[in-house]
Structure 1
């Protein structure tokens, strides 16, 4: 939308009237407005916002504030006076988007206030504005302190005199991700234990002090993304001044905001790789690994492993791996944002003490209703607010002192993805049961007032009350006693305060551990870990045989860093109570044993003796990484009654275990006489270390002898590649044309051309086979970059003997690699590509890393129109989705999957109609480099042998990177073979499609993309 059009919107807003509208009046207006009859522009007007909303029963919702007062709110806090603090993201990634002008003064932190108690903001002020807070993604107000999360820094603003102007600004942490990156720092929250909790996403490589030094956690480990021991996104806890940082969980992709309950339970969401429908909600078991990457190597989730799920959402988080905490809930696609545990009284009872979550990807505010499930939890979704307006992008939720819920709304055609389509809009809503918004009177002058306010659902009221009571020392105890009598969150918060009294901490821990409610007993373990670490085992003794699996879960986790014989005996006592199949309990035991696994496992094995061979014992052998588990796991595999379904999982466990004779033990399985002999041999070969096999001719012969029996499996492919086994051309070709996984077929095809087996492919295309089978093979060849493969494709193109559809696929395949693009461009320049294939050729060449090729290729097509698109005008036109699907197949299917069709290279589009509005779809097509999805940044890689590769990185380890290239082929590259690696400043998606696509095709394409919606 042009600046002129934006001004027109604002003028119409001003003409229609101000926004001091009561919720009653808005309800009347909603009944008069028929949302479906409004034009697209009318739907965008704030006065029509409520007409699009559906709100849960017995709740009232009103528009609290909107543009032009605020724009692009990213995160929100509510102070003790009920004022709403907003971080704006007007400058979010707009250096890439030519449509959006840069605000030179920088982004703002706004304070909104309702002074006349009608539930609508009538005053606003700027607390701070500057380029140093551009696109801040977190804000926490604690008294006169304001903590702002804005990568790469965490700022602490202090307003000493209460005039709403900061008197100082200091850096608490630095070095978090790049500037203006939404996979970096997120919001801080204040915990009931008096500490700060926060997280960051997987672009944050480390956590640095304000001086730039890498911070060590409380266990002396560097907080950095190196796998030693931490990976990717992390969750932290620290004291209020940022000292004593503790890593509470790691290996997330991009968690947005933590939520904490009064007992110390932690929850958060996490975003999948875009398009894989793997968005998840996590309950945080402290010190857990959450499985975004391989825990040992750091390999991405797409790298093949034994026992992975056929379900990509489950595969995405390594849920089959021992050592990965299970997900609470997977919610499909989405863009998960702000989350709270609602502990107020205003909302209906079913939402109390439950998670409330802003999900802008699906235009919804949800509650996750939690139930206990063994040692863990399960949850189901209850929608609170939904909207017909796909510009409704709720990105944060916060609780006011009166218990009402506020929702910030990014309000845009899309959300995140490194792009904002519209920077002039933004909203805040209030959800309540009362029309009036009564100011809260914070009473801290007396202990009675502080005790009353301690149970507030508002974080700032709670914080200030907590500080007042904490400062009283032992004198606070009479007030704590009264709070404890009230039970619930009052009791939980009082117990935390009691534990912070040095002379009384043991008393309050005992009180919690003796409570009849397991929530308090869990809290007691958490309290002991914090304030009585030297007596922790004494407290664990009290609950080691607790009737609650959840209490035993916390006890097991608490043993992680102790490592004494007493701790080992306690761990063994907990392990013998494990209920087979309870993955939460099993992972808690694993977390507790990970550092001292030999000691703890040995204590358990001594306790159970030979009676370990039950399902619960098998679970423990599978999960715990003690050396002694390796021969036991071999014994389980040799059991002739073993179910074939469990065999891959058992072999996967070897990946995480060490033993001096592990390879010899695996090798012994190759000659095993067993009902599932082939299956066992297949996986045994796959888990053998390459160096072990190659260092012995005897071992090599043993493996080669097995290869014919496991032919066609991924493990066979890996073995013949690593051992350079000759004479496998025919078998490789058969695997290439099989109906197995396409990634295996591509790997087989690459090896086939490597070993000189191209004649098999040539003969196949000369045969009278069906076009369909040849098209499927050409899809496979599109990911092969060997010179012989490219020569073959060039010959096919020149001979032009295939059907039109197959010839287009030849062109597509040739254009998937850098060397192939060079050939294709030469053919185009020399007039050797027929007209009917030119669009396909040009589209591929427009993705080239070579500037000349990329910019010149469109000149070989007749110009369609000017290189200028009026998106606002296009929005008003209706397209035909059925025709658009054909356009999609021409322009998009070679790089994207939609509705089960296409090549899985770029982000999946099967749910793009839910995620992006019509205008955002147009912007994404016309300006692809304005918003490059995180994880899809292109890289040019030059190898030392002179070859070049282009694609995006899907996995990193200490010694390798894994690159996904055009055609969706995946290649693991040793870092020692790389001469230069450079990130591209352009999207891998071609720019300038408007130069090669007719307007009607663009309109029809967008009409089709709008229909791509997965119903969750």
Structure 2
């Protein structure tokens, strides 16, 4: 068997050398016009470098390509300079049936450049197996190789260094997200000697190798139930899997994290597809990062008081107290591998900065970070940007010489569930000069380890750290030399010093008393690592009045689990130093007080007395969850000088606080005279608990008296719905029929109206003499709500003699959005009752039906011929008319997708589809949308116990309820106990095979338009 592997490796190496040698063209890559190539020639490895725009001072080389490596997902570089690669050839094959399964499983490769010419000439299979299919993380640390592949984290050990694993053990298991990129990701070795990693929002839980759910160091189960953790999480652990800490939670899909020499943590996070909310985060330990509502677990789309007008900011619940702010929002994208570059080879601008692989925009870039108050801000600087929209960099890693390697998934699309191509993949080398000759280190001596400790290569750093750590106090002369150098050398040496238990206090003091705030912030982290209880309080007291808000931020976080009177006093001193508007510092105070809010807050209140109601005091009252903040918050609200802009967020804060008289305090706001009384009353009534109102006739009447004053506001509607005020139907109809009111609010009003028996109001309106444009708006609205009454009205109207053809076409669109409506349309088609003017519209809508009979039969009712067999390779060479394509989009796509400012939000937004998908991928998705369903948009069918059926995708799921979004943009929330059966759909919710109802020219024009939909990021 080993002979066969050697022959395969030799064949791969020979083929790769032939391919890569062909890159040595007569013309320089920069002189080649990449845009002049055909689509097929653009895909060839020998033309790859011609597509690249490389930053000044850098050189890029193609190190390896297919067939030597295919579909690389993550990399590690060992101390010998060899490139270890996880392949994902078998990624989500259930969603890609045309791809050929490798029944041996995916490979972990070792690539090497043995002759120093910058090109890999050796490929070795370290491991191959189905248990590492689509592994998303690899870390090489000495003779141990950590491979992250949900549901497991494996530790392979190569005892004798022959590149064959001698053992394979499970470190963690039970992580969901199998064959899914929202599962577990790569491990990182930290300067403190511990391991760091994360998983996405499909990871759900963490179990030990015996299958038991792990509890964190505070005794809390690590699962995403909301008690207390949600969605994606970041972790720290010892090598044996003990002492697990959840460093942050409520992420969507943080692909990878990185840690700097001072102990600062950084990572990126992916938004829901198409919402231009991709972000970079600095991890404030124990923070919540706002992907889901931290109280209910509801999706960010669910209406709430005080949400932000801009979706990218609304997406992360940034207006909620308790959400850590983002370092940077980069717009659209598909963020992947990330490092903090602290080496010296690259130009100075990139040193001590983040470097990130962003496949969604075909770019590797740096985030130039600077301090701002207690937090940070950043700008983007590109290192490598490709004209090739198949360039999908998914990892970036530092070699022993300080140069970078970039892995390229190389595919027509990125994200979602589809791999367009499984036969290609590239590895690039980025340096300041051509060629690659790894630096070798001697880990057998303290001096050699001291040199290696300064390397950014993780394996070199790890082996150096282990040698110096094993020397114990004997390493101190070396540590002193390293400390004298300053910078990251000093930071790394300090961490080794604090691991010498007998000398830990010396090194903590050294850091805490340093003149540079970075080391003092590190000193706080060191104290949190090495000290506890009263001794930790003593160390924190030394910097509680530090002039740097960055240091005080770390002190606040370190107080979180102490809960002593002394800790409360330290927190109060920190709170006094808060600068109004510094959200980073405010959230640090919140994180520090969340476990003991009353104790810590009262210590501050006792110090500040009655002088609390200034700008910074208002911040603290808004954020901290102490009971006493409830009446204080009401006092802020009632002040005539309260900011109109801040008012919604003040009321939102009530949701996060408990007080025995909270509802009485809110009720008092309804009778308060105020310059912005209407808005204040609307917000107050929306926060009232329904039991408090319903159990008192007086309270109910007070609320009803307020409703006419706030009609048309979200709080007005929430109040009617929550209190089930069925005498408000006329008001509900007024709101749903007004075009100047938010469309989502009108839809919600229509739903409530039908639930309360207001069907006749709508019927009478459609039969009246109001302008046709008004009826059109109402019919469009009816087509996007779930009520069976709405379907009945649409059906009646379709055959009414009083409505025009445009109105009836609109009715057909509406009927096609619901399960019941689709069946009615299908019956009309079979009975030949539909006018030809809107028959094509009906067929198009029915092609998205979950009923396979309807979906497959619908095209048979068209007179047009099908396009037939399509050659995608030929289509991509054609140039379409994007202006005409925009019209095609309006006809075929806008009913389910948003592009720019137009369309209905049901499926993923298309506003950035031109960045994320190549022409090949666009054609493929149009022809077979089920092959590439975006995560979060998988279809489900809910069969209810009362016989009703709903189809859509799950917006959110709490312990008691599930919210489903359906065609047309409507949504329904149902009690889990009322569901008889929840079934995942095998097919996409999107229309199957649009090519069946459009001709080739229309399709080419549509793809031309979709290719223009790009946002900067």
| TM-score for both structures, normalised by structure 1 | 0.97
Query: Which shows bigger deviation, 849-858 or 318-327?
Result: 849-858
Whether the 8 Å contact between 1:904 and 1:968 is mirrored in structure 2 is: yes
- Contact 1:250–1:288 under 8 Å retained in 2: yes
Cα distance in 1 for partners of 2:210, 2:638 equals 56
Per the TM alignment, residue 945 of structure 1 is displaced from its structure 2 partner at its CA by 2.0
CA–CA distance in 2 between the matches of 1:255 and 1:356? 15
Point out the more displaced range, 728-737 or 129-138: 728-737
Superposition pairs of residues 530-545 of structure 1, within 5 angstroms: 530-534=529-533, 535-545=535-545
Which residue pairs with 1:505 in the alignment? 504
Partners of 2:15 and 2:68 within 8 A in 1: no
CA contact (8 A) 2:767 2:802 kept: no
Residues 16/376 of structure 1: CA separation in 2 closer, same or farther (3 Å cut): closer
- State how far apart, in whole Å, the 2-side matches of 1:26 and 1:301 are: 52
**CA distance in structure 2 between the aligned counterparts of 1:726 and 1:46, rounded to whole angstroms:** 67
Which residue number in structure 2 is paired with residue 291 of structure 1?
A: 290
Q: In the alignment, which residue of structure 2 is the partner of 1:692?
A: 692
3-state secondary structure, aligned to 1:750: helix
Contact 2:22 2:46 in 1 (8 A): no
- Aligned residue number for residue 6 of structure 2: none
Aligned mates of 2:891, 2:212 — CA distance in 1: 51
Deviations 1:717-772 (A, max 9, x none): 11112222233222212211222221111011112223333333334434555554
- Would the aligned equivalents of 1:22 and 1:118 in 2 still touch at CA under 8 Å? no
Cα distance, 1:947 vs structure 2: 1.2
In the alignment, what sits opposite 2:232?
Answer: 233
- 2: CA distance, partners of 1:147 / 1:14: 30
Q: Please give the secondary structure, in 1, of the residue aligned with 2:370.
A: strand
In the alignment, the residues of structure 2 paired with residue 457 and residue 179 of structure 1 have an alpha-carbon distance, to the nearest angstrom, of 31
Residue 182 (structure 1) aligns with: 181
CA distance in 1, matches of 2:665, 2:17: 79
Mapping 1:156-167, distance limit 5 Å: 156-167=155-166
Paired residue for 1:490? 489
Partner SS for 2:799: helix
Match of 1:657 in 2: 657
In structure 2, what is the equivalent of residue 415 of structure 1?
Answer: 414
Contact kept in structure 1, 2:233 and 2:250, CA below 8 Å: yes
Whole-angstrom CA distance in 2 between matches of 1:747 and 1:121: 60
- The whole-number CA distance in structure 2 between the counterparts of 1:639 and 1:878 is 62
Equivalent residue of 1:503, what SS?
helix
Could you tell me how far 1:985 is from its partner in structure 2? 1.7
In structure 2, the residue matched to 1:321 is 320
Does the Cα contact within 8 Å between 2:441 and 2:451 map onto a contact in 1?
A: no
The within-5 A match list for 1:773-852 is 773-799=774-800, 801-852=802-853
Deviations 1:294-335 (A, max 9, x none): 111111111111111110000000000000000000000000
Q: Matched residues in 2 for 1:427 and 1:511: separation? A: 46
SS of equivalent to 1:760: helix
| 1:912 to partner: Cα distance | 0.4
1:8 corresponds to which residue? none
Structure 2 match to 1:266: 265
CA contact (8 A) 1:811 1:837 kept: yes
Is the Cα contact below 8 Å between 1:414 and 1:421 reproduced in 2?
yes
Moved more, 755-764 or 679-688: 755-764
- Contact 1:845/1:854 (CA < 8 Å) preserved in 2? yes
User: Structure 1 residue 566 and structure 2 residue 566: aligned?
Assistant: yes
Match of residue 92 from structure 1: 91
Aligned to 2:7: none
Structure 1: 5+ residue stretches without partners: 1-10
* Partner Cα distance (2:771, 2:87) in 1: 58
Shift of 1:691: 1.6
Once the two structures are TM-superposed, the CA of residue 647 in structure 1 deviates from its matched residue by 1.2
User: How far does residue 888 in structure 1 lie from its aligned partner after superposition?
Assistant: 1.5
Matched-pair contact (CA < 8 Å) for 1:75–1:138: yes
Partner of 2:942: 941
Secondary structure, counterpart of 2:502 in structure 1: coil
User: Residue 103 in 1 paired to residue 102 in 2?
Assistant: yes
Once the two structures are superposed, residues 209-230 of structure 1 have per-residue CA deviations (whole angstroms, 9 ceiling, x without a partner) of 1111100001100000011000
SS in 2 for 1:330: strand
Q: Which residue of 1 aligns with 2:115?
A: 116
Q: Is the 1:630–1:662 Cα contact (8 Å) retained in structure 2?
A: yes
Q: Is the 8 A contact 1:75 1:396 kept in 2?
A: yes
Equivalent residues in 2 for 1:427-446, closer than 5 Å: 427-446=426-445
How far the C-alpha of 1:267 sits from its partner, in A, is 0.5
- Alignment-derived partner of residue 639 in structure 2: 639
Cα displacement (A) at 1:394: 0.7
Alignment of 1:367-406 (within 5 A): 367-406=366-405
Measured after TM superposition, the shift of residue 16 of structure 1 is 11
- Which position in structure 2 is the counterpart of 1:3? none
Cα shift at 1:867: 5.5
The unaligned stretches of length 5 or more in structure 2 are 1-10
2:550 is aligned to 550
Q: How many angstroms does 1:987 deviate by?
A: 0.9
Aligned to 1:364: 363
Is contact 1:867–1:992 with CA below 8 Å preserved after alignment? no
8 A contact 1:864–1:994 mirrored in 2: no
- The farther-off stretch of 332-341 and 925-934 is 925-934
5 Å matches for 1:597-996? 597-738=597-738, 739-767=740-768, 769-799=770-800, 801-862=802-863, 864-865=865-866, 868-996=869-997
CA contact (8 A) 1:22 1:435 kept: no
CA distance in 2, matches of 1:776, 1:394: 45
Q: Which residue of 2 aligns with 1:35?
A: 34
Q: Aligned equivalents of 2:36 and 2:846: distance in 1?
A: 44
- Structure 1 residues 817 and 29: alpha-carbon distance in aligned structure 2, compared to 1, 3 A threshold: same
Distance 1:598 1:15, change over 3 A: closer
Query: Taking structure 1 as reference, are residues 537 and 641 closer, same or farther at Cα in structure 2, changes over 3 Å only?
Result: same
Q: CA 1:863–1:100 in 2, change beyond 3 Å: closer, same or farther?
A: farther
How many residue pairs get aligned? The number is 1005
1:337–1:358 contact (8 Å) kept in structure 2: yes
Deviations 1:34-91 (A, max 9, x none): 2121111111111111111011101111111111111111111111011111111111
Distance 2:88 2:16 in 1: 27
Q: Secondary structure at the match of 2:542?
A: helix
Q: Which stretch shows the higher mean deviation, 309-318 or 994-1003?
A: 994-1003
Q: Does 1:196 align with 2:203?
A: no
Q: For the residues of structure 2 that align with 1:367 and 1:17, how far apart are their CA atoms?
A: 31
Distance 2:14 2:841 in 1: 49
- Give 1:571 shift: 0.3
With the length of structure 2 as denominator, give the TM-score of the two structures: 0.97
Q: Is the 8 A contact 2:145 2:157 kept in 1?
A: yes
Counterparts of 1:651 and 1:957, CA distance in 2: 23
Which range is displaced more, 375-384 or 832-841? Answer: 832-841
Q: Deviations over 1:911-961 (max 9, x none)?
A: 101110000001111121111111001111122222111111112222212
Partner SS for 1:18:
helix
Say if 2:40 is the partner of 1:47. Answer: no
Alignment check: 8 A CA contact 1:95 1:102 kept: no
Q: Deviations over 1:659-715 (max 9, x none)?
A: 111111111111112222211110111000112211222221221121111111111
Q: Distance in 2 between matches of 1:104 and 1:75?
A: 21
Shift of 1:967: 0.7
Which 10-residue stretch deviates more, 778-787 or 198-207? 778-787
Aligned to 2:126: 127
Match of 2:4 in 1: none
1:296-311 paired onto structure 2 within 5 Å: 296-311=295-310
CA-to-aligned-CA distance 1:454-475 (integer Å, 9 cap, x gap): 1111110000000011111111
Q: State whether residues 786 and 972 of structure 2, in contact with CA within 8 Å, keep that contact through their aligned partners in structure 1.
A: no
1:970 CA displacement: 2.1
Q: Report runs of 4+ in structure 1 exceeding 6 Å deviation.
A: 13-17
